[in-house]
Chains A and B, each alone.
Chain A
Amino acid sequence: MKENGAAMRVLIVQDEGLGPPMLDRILGPGQPDLVHARSVPEARELLSKSTFDVIVTDDARLRGVLDAIFAFVGLFSVGGVILDVNQAPLSASGLSREEVIGRRFVDMPWFAHSETERARIAAAITAAGRGESVRIETQIWSTRGELRWIDASFLPLRDQEGAITHVVGSGVDVTRRKRAQEALAASQARLAEAQRVAHIGSWEWTVGENHVQWSDELYDIYGLTKAEFVATYEGFLARVWPDDLAHTQAVIRAAVQTVAPFVYDHRIRRPDGTVRMLHTRGEVIGGPHGKAARLVGSCWDVTEHWQVTSELERSVSTLTATLEATADGILVGDRHGKVAAVNRRFLAMWRLPSDVGPGADIRRLAESVRGQLVDPDGFMAKVTELYGDEHSEAFDVIRFEDGRVFERYSLPQRVGDAIVGRVCSFRDVTRRERFLERAQSERAAAVTARQDLEAVLERVSDGFVALDRTWRYTYVNGCAGRLLGRPAEALVGRHIWTEFPEGRGQKFHLAYEQAMREQRPIQIRDKYPPWNRWFENRIYPSPDGISIFFTDITDQVMMEDALRASNDQLRALAARLDLVREEERRVMAREIHDQIGQSLTALKLDLAWLRKQLDGQASPAVAARTAGMDGLIDQILGTARRVSADLRPPVLDDLGLAAAIAWLARELEERTGIQSELDLPPEGPAFAPEVALTLFRIAQEALTNVVRHAGAHRVRIELRAADGAAVLRIADDGRGVTREELERPNALGLLGMRERALVVGGSVSVTGSAGQGTTVTVKVPLATAAPPA
């Protein structure tokens, strides 16, 4: 009855000297697959010739071997009762062999932790008892109070006839392997997570098989799904931006040939068309004969960094171009007094060698040029001062021995709020200075030069005067004479404050004194009250006095004022026109009521009387005509009512703003079907008439917009008076006003609404978003200023 040829072979090792062997007692004699060894050496010989599934022994020494192994071995009845076990499970449970034998395996404390495990083991033993070989992974509870993973198998044991007599169980503690597996899984998960967080992808290319494997993050970086990527080297190259293809291939080819680490940047084009810059670094894993077997790499997206870098490069080249294009000499220093940038013009102006560039020491440069200067010590002192105080600014004049004159403008260079260095710009003002110097040393100047100078100065449209250190005019051009109201030649040699005593103490006087005292150019733009005119002055000092260019800017200032005033007047006029129009409308509404309404009322009653008189006597034609007249009167009355209300709803004047708004809402619903939800004060606060009218007209305009543009079904109108202001809010459920609509010059009559509100000191705001409707909010102070009359 052998069901298969692989019946279990059991080696029984039994020392005859040890009395009746336990196994014989248990198993019964004569089992064909039961091989007996009488001694350990015999058993060893048998084991070397043949393989056995289970070794069972009561031999103390062999048991010693069995017991020494970590594997759990046990022999059970088909019902799962323990017949024998080795030491390992006993150690694990802290039980003695005697306590265990004769009890059901599943009742052992090893399975006390879980009914599920107990049931699985019971099922496995039952299955083995039916002839199956069962291998399961289970957990047991060890004496050390921890769960251990066991790789267990249960095998049937058959007799000669093939009948199953026993079940053999064995197990190996695989907890360490299991934990290692779990730790590996956890660590891989952490790696994947770290890559995801850092947006680092990884890849591996098995060169021989030309197979490429990507991490999930790399798929995200490329914007590809697993199905879209052809996992070969060529599939990878197909994703590389064409311009970067040759370089990428070259780097990888070199890496394969040299079996050396590699780094490269390349762009890719994602399926959605976006281009990204990727940074890859990796290494080559060598195979047999020193050839490259695999390439592994990490890859991350550096697009933003690349963009910033490219942007920076562009800015730097723009900056350099700008520096070179300017007529000024420019020196940019860092905080340590080293050159950060200079332009060629600077080097030329200061006669410095063309190889002076970034990194050069500014103080040393200054020392090298001091010999060219009229006042080298003053110049060096200034340099020391400027580079000693990073906040300092300077605008001064530098004179050269060869007659050249530079204006220096020096100020801190800032990036955001931080000072990162200093920028100095130098302008060659020699020509201008020469003119001024000649003007100041009139007597010394050659006649022709003076004529030239005067010709120039007479032609400039600005006033120009030169004053010496004693405040006497040394030169006055024609324009200055005209501006000062004196013949120019009459002023030369005169003391300015004697000629113009009213100017003493004025801002211009103070500026002249400051320029003279501090020897620095000053610009001032202010009113000169004695003449009630505005002037702009540019004051240039020299050791001999000051020169002043000045111009009358009164017209310009007045123009600006006039423009402002004119705008105010326009607004007032518009408001006034509005008042007039409102008054006209009110009068017309009244006229319609008084003239047309009253006459029609009387006519209607008289016609009724007439028809009654004619009753029965009139011809059908007369009756039809009079009936027609009655209908016509009704029609005209209706029209008169509507026109009158459109011009000026009487409700507004008689019943107040809240009633008038309620009337507007009723009208709106009758005309368009748009329903209104009203939140109005029950007892209308007594708004000033102009406030009420303003709010009413704005509400009317806003509702007109709702009908024309909004496509709304409902509108909510709120009116409140709180904190000294009336607030009217009209919100619809339409398509929502767009930003573009709001930005148009007279968007939706918004300008009109704003102007109306402005007249009574109020404001209008309009908000909306697509699909969310539009809200117009008007806020008007209750204690309003009187409207412009």
Chain B
Amino acid sequence: MTRLLVVDDSAEVRRSVCAALGELLAGLSFGEAATAGEALAAFARERWDGVLLDLSLPDRNGLQTLREMRRARPEIPVVVMSFHPPAEYGAAARANGAAGYVTKGSSPEAIAAAVTAALDAARNASLAPDTR
């Protein structure tokens, strides 16, 4: 099973995202976190293959959370899902190590494609450690 951690302070968003991705992608199981604190705790405690991270979290700046995740587990890809258009945050997210960027309100297929691409890239990188 590929494990994806979905971080968003809205339960509705988490539920709908997990449902949509579960429909579209086979072999995916989900963990959820509502705050940056919960997310980082879960991140340290359990095994994850990828993270879908909202930038607007109640307790901490999303970009800072992203940096901390990358520092702790650089091999785990983090896809940013944000309310704000990529023109504003895309470059900053990439600079802080995001593996992908989707806007909230994108179609389920677009979200699934971003997650798949990030997971595949990480899997390929780990299979060919000499390229790192």
What residues make up the interface of A, taking CB atoms closer than 8 Å to B? 590, 593-594, 597-606, 608-609, 612, 633-634, 637, 641, 644-645, 649-651, 654-655, 659, 663, 666
Contact = CB atoms under 8 A, between A and B. Distances in A.
A605 B108 contact: yes
Contacts of A605: 16-17, 19-20, 108
Nearest to B109: A608
Of listed B9, B62, B87, B105, residue having the most chain A CB within 10 A:
B105
A663 B83 CA distance: 16
Contacts of A593: 56, 83
Interface in B49-107: 55-56, 61-63, 83-85, 87-89, 92, 104-105, 107
Contacts of A651: 84, 88-89
A61 B69 CA distance: 132
Interface string B95-132: 00000000011011000000000000000000000000
A600 to B, nearest CB: 6
A583 to B, nearest CB: 17
B23 interface: yes
B15 interface: yes
Contacts of A666: 87
A641 B73 CA distance: 32
A654 B108 contact: no
Contacts of A633: 105
Contacts of A602: 10, 12-13, 15-16
Contacts of A597: 83, 104
A597 B12 CA distance: 11
A598 B13 contact: yes
Interface string B3-36: 0000011101101110110010000000000000
Contacts of A649: 88
Of listed A599, A634, A654, A666, residue having the most chain B CB within 10 A:
A654
A645 B56 CA distance: 14
Nearest to A634: B105
Consensus secondary structure, chain B interface: helix
A594 B17 contact: no
A654 B62 contact: yes
B19 A655 contact: no
A255 B54 CA distance: 106
Which bracket fits the contact residues of B? 20 to 34
A637 B89 contact: no
Given A651-B88, A654-B61, A654-B89, A608 B10 contact: no
Nearest to B84: A650
A612 B63 CA distance: 34
B47 to A, nearest CB: 26
Nearest to B64: A654
Contacts of B62: 654
Contacts of B63: 654-655
Contacts of A601: 10, 12-13, 16, 83, 104-105
B105 A609 contact: no
A633 B84 CA distance: 15
Contacts of A590: 56
A70 B62 CA distance: 114
A471 to B, nearest CB: 76
Given A641-B83, A650-B84, A604 B105 contact: yes
Contacts of B20: 605, 608-609
Contacts of A663: 87-88
B88 A650 contact: yes
A654 B55 contact: yes
A600 B23 contact: no
A650 B55 CA distance: 11
Of listed B10, B17, B23, B61, residue having the most chain A CB within 10 A:
B10
A654 B8 CA distance: 17
Nearest to B83: A597
Contacts of B12: 598-599, 601-602
B108 A609 contact: yes
Nearest to B8: A598
A650 B56 contact: yes
B92 A637 contact: no
A384 B91 CA distance: 89
B85 A641 contact: yes
Of listed A590, A604, A659, residue having the most chain B CB within 10 A:
A604
Contacts of A600: 104-105
Nearest to A598: B10
Nearest to A599: B12
Given A605-B20, A650-B88, A666-B87, 6 more contacts: A594-B10, A601-B10, A651-B84, A654-B61, A655-B63, A663-B88
Contacts of B84: 641, 645, 650-651
A609 B22 CA distance: 11
Nearest to B61: A654
A608 B85 contact: no
B108 A608 contact: yes
B105 A637 contact: yes
